[in-house]
Structure 1
Amino acid sequence: MSEDVQSAYREEQNKLSSVLEEIGTQLGRLRAVPVYTGHDFTEQVLEAGREERRQRLAKSEPEPYFGRMDFEEDGKASAAPLYIGKTGLDGRDPGSLPIVIDWRAPVASLFYSFTGGEERVEYEAPEGIIGGEVHLKRNIMVRKSELERVVDTYTRGGEEPAVSDEFLLYRLGENKDNRLRDIVSTIQAEQDKIIRAEKNKALIIQGVAGSGKTTVALHRLAFLLYQYQEQVSAEKMIIFAPNGMFLDYISGVLPELGVGDIQQRTFTDWAGKLLDVESMLANPAETLDFWFGEAGGAAPGDDAPGRFKGSDLFRSMLDAAASALEVSGAPELEFSPWDGKVLPYETILHWYAEEYKHYSAGGRKERVLARIHRWIEMELKPVKPETLRKEYKKKAALREKAYAKKWPDFSPLTLYKQIFGAAKDARGILPQEAFAAIPASVLKSTRKDLKEGRIREEDLPALLYLHQLLNGIEGIERFDHIVIDEAQDFSPLQVSVLDRFVRGHSFTILGDLSQGIHAYKGVHAWEEMSDLFGKEETSYHALTRSYRSTMEIIGFANVILSGGVSNAIEAVPVFRSGNKVRMIDFGIETEAADVQAAAKAIRALWGREHKTVSVLTRTQEQASALHAALQPEFPELNLIDGSMTQYEGGLSVLPLHLSKGLEFDAVIIADAGRRNYGDSEWDAKMLYVGCTRALHELWVLHGGETPKFLNDVADWSDTGWPEA
């Protein structure tokens, strides 16, 4: 260790000691104040503030900061050392400079955006643009209140080149557990730009596998809550993720950033509850088994149910059906509460079509029927004698109830059934030419589902759209910000519907077209989503650098993309080298040979330095069979299926489509031969997803011939089993 490094280490050790002492002092004072449990509102607010500070200080004590930047602001005589942490630490005296600056503060943006050089820098603060010069940028690792690492990535006037990647590579080389981690200490400049983007825009992020797009989106939520704390609340934010297991996997990031109460749901769970159709939802495993069980087939076309039901064409059909129902909403009948008293149809129609025209169709119906009820009450008042009034009132109640039943049902499910001819009164809802535009297979399968009381995932966006058209959206249902993860699997209609549930088009939409393995739904180009918004309402960002896998794994995966996917978006790896990908031919493609090869690979990888090892199969059925065959030898082997809501880490076997978004120290692709994978883009994307789950080690097992996109991987792979 050089003298300069030793000096920096001593300096930071002294600083850490003083900061920890200050944290202890402030925490001790707060804990000395008795917890208020009374009913006085002012005292309750004060106690809530004290408790928030207690928790924040206790949480920051093990790792109070992670970086330092010496910044000389314009007009100042010298540079001031600024320490950056996950949470801020105020000085003891009011008005004093913070001891630690929150990573979300404006000045902290310099720590992420500055990459070297002696040019003047600027950042945007509430009081305007502030400029100056950076003298030092230093990464600091503190674990359990102990100083572990000090790395200078820039020294002004220094002769040594910047080593900005050294600290990043050190963090990337760490092994994986069963949770996604925050990246506050290693946020890169292009990621920081997305995190700090303005609130009222739909951000579309195309991020290659391992680019950190999910983590960036979570950090963006934390930033928005800090930057716009008077305008947004955590309770009014929501993250839509692909499945419950993935939600569990990412669940630790926001609490680590000091953020709680943000909703984290799957779209199916949220929509099903809002529409009150949870009991009708089909098991999503049925859909997955159908599509992913077809080995080597061509990717589904635009007539697949998910693609069609998420299209603009289908949305126009929904508009037409809702409009037709709305126009014919008021039944062409006069209303007579008792003999001799009549409310003309023309009056009822005027109320419905003119006076309440600014309400939704369901709202109009509700208000017209309420007004008829009030009209009855007014007409009853002058009736004499009392016995006659009671007789009329009883008769009016019966006729009012019968009249209300003659109004159409404005529930979205009823109209949806009418659109697909799954209800008796379906005729006339859609013009014949529109009805004929529904693909025959979609019409047949959907009609069967609806008649049997079954709703599938791809039906939910349409039902939500009809719900909004017919009944409007309650204020309590609106969000301040929506994050959509794996957005390439969302349809344009899904996003269009969600846009009606969020204020100011405030979205973070992230995904990777190269990982679009759910080809039976979703989008094939980001323009399908950006076209939903005005040019000033959207912003597109591309993250092409992969921080997850080694150079060898990324190079191998890129060959799959370039050889199997048109217009592929390849990843650029960070300079982190490891073992070559191992391609192992286990001979004849049989289940027994597949099991033997998987077992041999597990023996070689599990129990070494890897904490998480996964075996990825083509289908859930294959995963279950492989698990049953391997568990006698590996009792700790976990089987993962779509019903799981927790990822336990360790050794696991799962179908490839459930691995999206997850990371493992080592990945074993079980039987990547032609028995499971053909030459289609769909197959190439599926194998690309599987390969890019691996951080450090990737083994691809196959029996004999492989798909054509695996023909040119020699530069990045070794063949055969490793030497003992």
Structure 2
Amino acid sequence: MTKTMNEKQYEQEHLDHILDKIKAKKAELKTAIKSAEGEARDLNSHFYDDVKLDFDGYSTSMETALSIHQQQQLLDERQNAWQHSAKQLDTVERLEQKPYFARVDFRETNEQPETIYIGLGSFADENNHFLIYDWRAPISSIYYDGKLGKVSYHSPEGEITVEMTKKRQFMIEKGKIVNMFDTNESIGDQMLLEVLSEKSSTQMKSIVTTIQQEQNKIIRNTSADLLFVQGAAGSGKTSAILQRIAYLLYRYRGNLTSSNVIMFSPNQLFNDYIKNVLPEMGEQNMVQMTYWQFVARRLPGMQVENLFDQFEDKQADTNINKFKDSTKFFKLVTRYAKYLNGKGVIFKDIYFRDKKRPYFSKEKIKEIYYSFNSNYSLANRIDATREELIKQLNRRITSEAKKSWVSETIQGLSKEQLNELYDRPDQEFESEEKEEQFLGRKIVVKKLKKVYNSIKQNHFINMRAQYLNFLRAVPKMIDLSKWGIAASDWEQQIATVKASFKERYIHMNDVSAYLYLYDLLTGRYVDFEMRYAFIDEIQDYTPFQLCYLKYNFPRAKYTMLGDLNQAIFTKDESQNLLKQISGLFDPEKTEVVQLTKSYRSTKQLTDFTKQILRQGEKIESFNRQGPKPALWGRDNAQEAIAVLEQILQENDRKKQTTAIITKNLADAKFVSEELNQAGRKNTLIATANQRLVGGTLVVPSYLAKGLEFDAVVMWDASKSKYHKADETQLVYTITSRAMYKLDIIYIGEKSPLLAVNPATYQEK
């Protein structure tokens, strides 16, 4: 028997021993949960059996209260025991599938050699001796960070240096070691190749077993206020960030919960794709939304330009767009709000019953608003105005109750409606007059609730007119010619915004400024509870949006990640985005990490796609082999559809999930319909709210961000479709979604953006 066989046999015996312990713990926890549930039920059903309910005197009442308190404490203890056991059971059941994935041998100076096994969670025996260490534990970092030899890790006691003598990796399936190998690297190429060669799925998987050294630095960083991660497509940016969230929840458990963490992702489809990663590691999902959802939920009465409108109806980037997206524009809103403290706030009338005559006129509201001292802030001023309006509203109840409409309303009420107004069924009054006064007041208070809500919700501010006034004030605050904007163009822009407002529609490059101005004006409270904010696909955000997020979550530490080569809404500023927002963060607490190695795609695909970019040479490919990309040139759409069917048949034979990625939704609908008519089953992803499914998908480019597929077909990469220089990044985004196979179909002349080395692809 060889040494390798002996080693494998030893490791299998060790695994069997650990699995026995895990199964025993699982049975023990199930018994404990059942027992705790039974005790809680028993306590609940006999809650008052041992409680002396006596309310005659102070001392006996106190005794009763203490007795109830003790019973409640017992119930809480059982509940806590049940929850603790349930959480432990969840960890144990996850470990039962794959107890660990690594072993590390090391020795501290003048200490005995130690061996630890690393898995998705911690597991200890009855003596509290750790049999498996959580991958997030301080000691586990030596597995990810160091090569054999001297290596250090940060522990609660400070930095500790050890001599690492072995690093072993395991592939475990159904309680058996199917493969194991020793390596000197963070994660050996052999293990990476095994994991990366797995087929793609509709859900992102955890990368805990294959975290690279550079990714580990991102995951365990606790010092930066801004961690800016720039990585190539497929470099594991998003995966590393999800592991980072899991690490932070583990590191600061007790002080940090998933509700203190927010993640902004590119679209709802992507949210669905990553939703299982944290639960797989035993953590709850963080607050997760798109930026569109973040702003649109605050404007239920208006339609906010969505992802489809932004891409499908996108006009050429103008100087006005660049100006509105800038940090300069953000500062102008701040400056304008300060000016409003002295004058210029526009109000609306508040109506009650008479729609011609206001209940509170805008002139009266303005008089109240500016009647307060000049040392009042905008927030104090709005609070005081609301308070005064509510006082005046309360004073009007009595006089309103004497009006004829009130007595007419009383006369028209049924017996059931009257009974609803009384405080109790047997309520009595001194006289009919007193009863009518009582009922009248009740009716008026109920009817005036709408006015009260309008005051509480600041509906007396004419926000649309206020924003338009701000836009009119902009030329007085800044020289627009320095931004290449003519006065007439700015006037036209104001007219466009005004026309949109009439349709109850607001463009994306107005919505952040609109809400920011509203927040400053009303003193809306920001979220001080949010501790960490993660922003994915940062290249698709504007500097203004990032300033606004920083304003909303002022105490959060930020992690921003993206590939500046993948901007869907192309902006010249994307390349110096960090420079534009640098003023928001302390330079001493800003860290920039670059991930240049792409793990998603085969070497052939990465070597092809990186040529599309101007600075693509920075991207390193991982040595995983596959076929060269294929380019299929055809004369018309019908020939192109025939080629597509041929490609799909081949991919089906290889059981590969295929995404046909088109430039826009119209093309996606055309392709999907053509395939349907040919009897080819496919799923058209037309909105971000759809679920990803297996099989053949047809997806417009702007919904493919962050996703990956076994095989990708780029539909109609012709010159007529892709010819602008600023579409380079879009072409790169589409082609870099493929993990193993890429086919590019074009009709007529090929796009000049695909002018790459012919040796790196095959023409068919």
1:485 to 525, 536, 545: 536
Q: Which residue is equivalent to 2:325?
A: 310
| TM-score normalised over the length of structure 2 | 0.79
Which residue of 2 is the match for residue 671 of structure 1?
A: 716
Partner of 1:382: none
Q: Which residue of 2 aligns with 1:718?
A: 762
Task: Tell me how far apart the structure 1 counterparts of residues 452 and 373 of structure 2 sit (CA, whole Å).
Answer: 14
CA distance 1:319–1:412, shift in 2 (3 Å): farther
Question: Could you tell me whether the CA contact under 8 Å between 1:68 and 1:84 is conserved in 2?
Answer: yes
Residues 310, 163 of structure 1: alpha-carbon distance in 2 compared, 3 angstrom cutoff: closer
What code does the residue aligned with 1:585 have? G
Q: What amino acid does structure 2 have at the position aligned with 1:602?
A: L
SS of match in other structure, 1:61: helix
- Which of 130, 142, 146 does residue 176 from structure 2 map onto? 146
Task: Check 1:599–1:64 CA distance in 2 against 1; reply closer, same or farther (3 A cut).
Answer: same
Q: Which residue of 2 aligns with 1:107?
A: 139
Contact persistence 1:200–1:506 (CA under 8 A): yes
Cα distance in 1 for residues equivalent to 2:492 and 2:378: 38
SS in 1 for 2:136: coil
Partner of residue 49, structure 2? none
Distance apart, 1:213 and its partner CA: 0.6
What is the rounded CA distance, in whole Å, between the counterparts of 1:234 and 1:412 in structure 2? Answer: 37
Q: Which secondary structure does the structure 2 equivalent of 1:147 belong to?
A: strand
Deviations 1:42-97 (A, max 9, x none): 2222221111111111122101111111121223122x11111111112212xx33
Partner of 2:119: 85
What do residues 529-550 of structure 1 show as CA deviations (whole Å, max 9, x unaligned)? 3333220232211111100001
The answer to whether 1:281 aligns with 2:281 is no
Larger Rg: 2
In 1, the alpha carbon distance for the partners of 2:683 and 2:214 equals 37
Q: CA deviation at 1:634?
A: 4.6
- DSSP-derived class of the 1:580 partner: coil
Identify if the C-alpha distance between structure 1 residues 233 and 408 changes in structure 2 by more than 3 Å, giving closer, same or farther.
closer
What's 1:604 paired with? 650
Instruction: Please tell me whether residue 551 in structure 1 is matched to residue 603 in structure 2.
Output: yes
Deviation at 1:202, TM superposition (A): 1.5
- Could you tell me whether the CA contact under 8 Å between 1:245 and 1:644 is conserved in 2? yes
Three-state SS of the structure 2 residue aligned to 1:652 is strand
Shift of 1:568: 5.2
* Cα distance per residue 1:488-518 (max 9 Å; x no partner): 1111121112112325341111111100121
| Distance in 1 separating the partners of 2:132 and 2:606 | 37
Match of 1:661 in 2: 706
Instruction: Give the share of equivalent positions with the same residue, in percent.
Output: 26
Q: For 2:547 and 2:573, locate their aligned partners in 1 and report how far apart those are by CA, in whole Å.
A: 13
Other-structure match for 1:579: 627
Secondary structure of residue in 2 paired with 1:303:
helix
Q: Secondary structure at the match of 1:578?
A: coil
The one-letter code of the counterpart of 1:601 is I
Inter-partner Cα distance in structure 1 for 2:186 and 2:685: 44
* Structure holding more helix per residue: 2
Call closer, same or farther: CA 1:715–1:319 in 2, change over 3 Å: same
Which one of the candidate residues 527, 531, 540 is aligned to 2:592?
Answer: 540
Q: Distance in 2 between matches of 1:631 and 1:347?
A: 65
Mapping for residues 613-632 of structure 1, pairs under 5 Å: 613-632=658-677
Q: Deviations over 1:568-612 (max 9, x none)?
A: 5742111112111112222x2x322332222222122223141x1
Shift of 1:433: 5.5
Instruction: Please tell me whether the aligned partners of residues 720 and 751 of structure 2 are also in contact (alpha carbons under 8 angstroms).
Output: no
Equivalences for residues 223-622 of structure 1 within 5 A: 223-273=247-297, 275-277=298-300, 280-291=303-314, 300-304=317-321, 307-328=322-343, 351-354=372-375, 356-357=376-377, 359=379, 361-367=381-387, 369=389, 414-420=462-468, 432=476, 436=487, 439-440=490-491, 442-474=493-525, 478-519=529-570, 523-525=574-576, 526-562=578-614, 567=615, 570-586=618-634, 588=635, 590-610=636-656, 612-622=657-667
SS at match of 1:82: strand
Distance in 2, matches of 1:187 and 1:609, equals 27
- Give the match for residue 384 of structure 1: none
Counterpart in the other structure of 1:682: 726
Distance 1:238 1:705, change over 3 A: same
Find the counterpart in structure 2 of residue 63 from structure 1: 98
Mapped partners of 1:420, 1:580: distance in 2: 55
Aligned to 2:110: 75
Instruction: Report 1:118-129 matches (<5 A).
Output: 118=149, 120-129=150-159
Q: Which moved more, 1:707-716 or 1:644-653?
A: 707-716
Following the alignment from structure 2 to structure 1, what is the Cα–Cα distance between the partners of residues 651 and 296? 42
Q: What code does the residue aligned with 1:322 have?
A: A
Cα deviations by residue, 1:683-712 (Å, 9 ceiling, x for unpaired)? 211111111101011111223432334223
Instruction: Indicate how the Cα distance of structure 1 residues 278 and 136 shifts in structure 2: closer, same or farther if over 3 A, else same.
Output: farther
Which shows bigger deviation, 538-547 or 476-485? 476-485
Mark the CA change 1:302 to 1:259 in structure 2 (over 3 Å): closer, same or farther.
farther
Counterpart of 2:684 in structure 1 is 639
Q: CA deviation at 1:32?
A: 0.8
- Residue 695 (structure 1) aligns with: 739
Give the Cα separation in 2 of the matches to 1:321 and 1:167: 58
More deviation, 22-31/450-459: 450-459
RMSD: 3.6
Paired AA for residue 706 in structure 2 = G
SS at match of 2:183: strand
Cα offset, 1:162, TM superposition: 9.7
Rounded Cα–Cα distance in structure 2 between residues aligned with 1:113 and 1:318? 46
Change (3 A) 1:687 1:346: closer
SS of residue matched to 1:260:
coil
Distance 1:137 1:495, change over 3 A: same
1:138-171, CA deviations, whole angstroms, 9 ceiling, x for partnerless residues? 11112233322111113xxxxxx99821111111
* 1:131 and 2:151 are equivalent in the alignment: no
Distance 1:438 1:88, change over 3 A: farther
Aligned partners of 1:471 and 1:173: how far apart in 2? 55
Distance of aligned partners of 1:163 and 1:190 in 2 relative to their CA distance in 1, 3 Å threshold:
closer
Unaligned runs of 5+ in 1: 155-160, 333-342, 378-386
Segments of structure 2 that go 5 or more residues without pairing to the other structure are: 45-74, 348-363, 398-433, 481-486
**Contact conserved, 2:686 with 2:700, CA < 8 A, in 1?**
yes
| Displacement of 1:181 | 0.7
Q: Which has the higher contact order (CA 8 A, sep 6+)?
A: 1
Offset of residue 520 of structure 1:
5.9
Question: Is this contact kept in 1: 2:530–2:555, CA < 8 A?
Answer: no
Deviation at 1:522, TM superposition (A): 7.5
Distance apart, 1:329 and its partner CA: 7.4
Counterpart CA distance in 1 for 2:77 and 2:672 is 58
Alpha carbons 1:637, 1:652 under 8 Å: kept: yes
2:695 corresponds to 1:650? yes
State the secondary structure of the residue aligned to 1:696. Answer: strand
Query: Contact (CA 8 Å) 2:265, 2:536: kept in 1 or not?
Result: yes
Q: Distance in 2 between matches of 1:327 and 1:568?
A: 54
- The alpha-carbon distance between structure 1 residues 258 and 464, as it changes in their structure 2 partners (threshold 3 A), is farther
Distance 1:348 1:703 in 2: 64
Change in CA separation of 1:363 and 1:311 when aligned onto 2, cut-off 3 Å = farther
Shift of 1:252: 1.2
SS of 2:159's equivalent in the other structure is strand
Partner of 2:29: 30
